[in-house]
Amino acid sequence: MSPVLGRQRGATLLIALVMLLLLSLLAASSMRQTLLQARSGGAALENTQAFNAAEAALREGERRLMALSQQPSFTAFSAGFASCSESVPAVRSAFAKVPTGDLCILTKASDLNTGALTQTWAAAALQASGTDPTARTVAYRGSDGSASFVQTPRWVVTAIGSSSVDVSAPATNLFRITAVAQDRGKRFPVILQSVVALEVP
């Protein structure tokens, strides 16, 4: 065998090993990118689920408030209560048929009208366990009361006040509904608010 052929075979082996190394690095980089995309997709999914839970709680709060406004004793509750432990039983007594869920209306003094107040409320609400009302929140268990969540969304209604310029016209009471939910990994709290205006005859 000539020395030229021996060197060529060694060069071929070296080139093949370098190519194998490059392909291994490319495969490792591709796997890392795929793993990162899967994590991002999972986080986005959990964030969407938390948003949907908070939105469902917000809509249920609006629905229950509208149902209460149809009751003759609504004006007695429109100013709110000092705590949910007072509000929930009082509101239940307003209905001829006991509703499936709780409704808590807090006074204007408890209004969550700033970001700092809302963040503080949400942090405390997310620490609550179980489905019983706390001093400032009620648990959302679905419109029929049978839904279950890994982290139970919580919500509250606060009375903002009334806007009655014309004394002959019905007063319009304003209420702020605030809902909070969190994903399974407890990384993404979602806080939603809406303001509902209800006419009181």
What are 101-160's pLDDT values in tens digits?
Answer: 788 899 988 888 888 999 999 988 888 887 788 888 888 877 776 676 778 889 999 999
Which tokens is 10 given? 């060694």
d(CA 129, CA 113): 25
Structural domain that includes position 38: 3-200
Tokens at 200, concatenated: 């009181």
Instruction: Provide the whole-model pTM.
Output: 0.74
Per residue in 5-39, pLDDT (tens digit) is: 555 566 788 888 888 999 998 888 888 888 777 77
The DSSP H or E segment spanning 159 is: strand 154-162
Looking at the structure of the chain, the number of domains it has is 1
Kindly write down the DSSP assignment for every residue of 62-96, as one continuous string. HHHHHHHHTSTTHHHHTT-BSSHHHHHHHHHHH-S
